[in-house]
Amino acid sequence: MTNLNFLMTLLPVVFMIHDFEELIMSNSWLAKNREELRKRFPKIEYFLTRQRFFELSTAAFSVAVAHEFLLITIVSLTAVFYSLYEWWFAAFMAFFLHLLVHIVQWAVFRKYIPAIVTSIMTMPYCIYTLMLFVKFSLLSYLQMLLWAFIGIVLMVMSFISAFYFANKFNLWERKQ
């Protein structure tokens, strides 16, 4: 099971590889594609405008990423050291779903979106790790479903707090 523990501790690294693409590309991509978003997906563009996504600096977006990175690192390391596989599985499935959402976004948008390259690159890690997790039968299928749901709910809650702090930082940064 040491291979699985190694893969579990890799989750924060894989997360950051993925989020580096988002950090580097998001601001310029949003600026270049805002009008197309407004025309093709007006509700999404309205939501992003209302949440001030177009106003966030790269530094402010980094605050949100750091928030998520700290959470996923704490959960991953704690899960490995204390065998809290349920909590790690919740974080892992939230990340896996996050990647799948990016792949669907890319399929719908039909051109590059920030995060698609690393979403595709990290998908083998997710699939292999999930297969190994299932192989070791650490949770029943029902437990996996429950913890995946818990992970998704917690991910939404953590995104809300992450972008709350990002917006606060953005306001502070603009005053400087």
Q: Which of 54, 64, 63, 67 is nearest to 26 (CA)?
A: 54
The Cα–Cα gap between 155 and 100 comes to 14
Q: Is the pTM of this model over 0.85?
A: yes
Average pLDDT of every residue of the chain: 95
The full 3-state SS of the chain, as one line of letters, equals CHHHHHHHHHHHHHHHHHHHHHHHHHHHHHHHHHHHHHHHCHHHHHHHHHCCHHHCCHHHHHHHHHHHHHHHHHHHHHHHHHCCHHHHHHHHHHHHHHHHHHHHHHHHHCCCCCCHHHHHHHHHHHHHHHHHHHHCCCCCHHHHHHHHHHHHHHHHHHHHHHHHHHHHHHHHHHHC
* Predicted local confidence at residue 154, as pLDDT: 95
Q: What is the pLDDT of residue 176?
A: 87
Burial class of 10 by CB neighbour count within 10 A (0 to 12, 13 to 18, 19+):
middle
Tokens of 157: 């809650």
Q: Which pLDDT score, from 0 to 100, does residue 164 have?
A: 95
Q: Which residues of the chain have pLDDT under 50?
A: none
Per-residue pLDDT, 1: 56
Sequence length of the chain is: 176
Contact 149, 39 (CB under 8 A): no
Q: CA 59, CA 56: separation in Å to the nearest integer? A: 8
Q: What is the pLDDT of residues 58-109, one digit of tens each?
A: 999 999 999 999 999 999 999 999 999 999 999 999 999 999 999 999 999 9
pLDDT at 2: 79
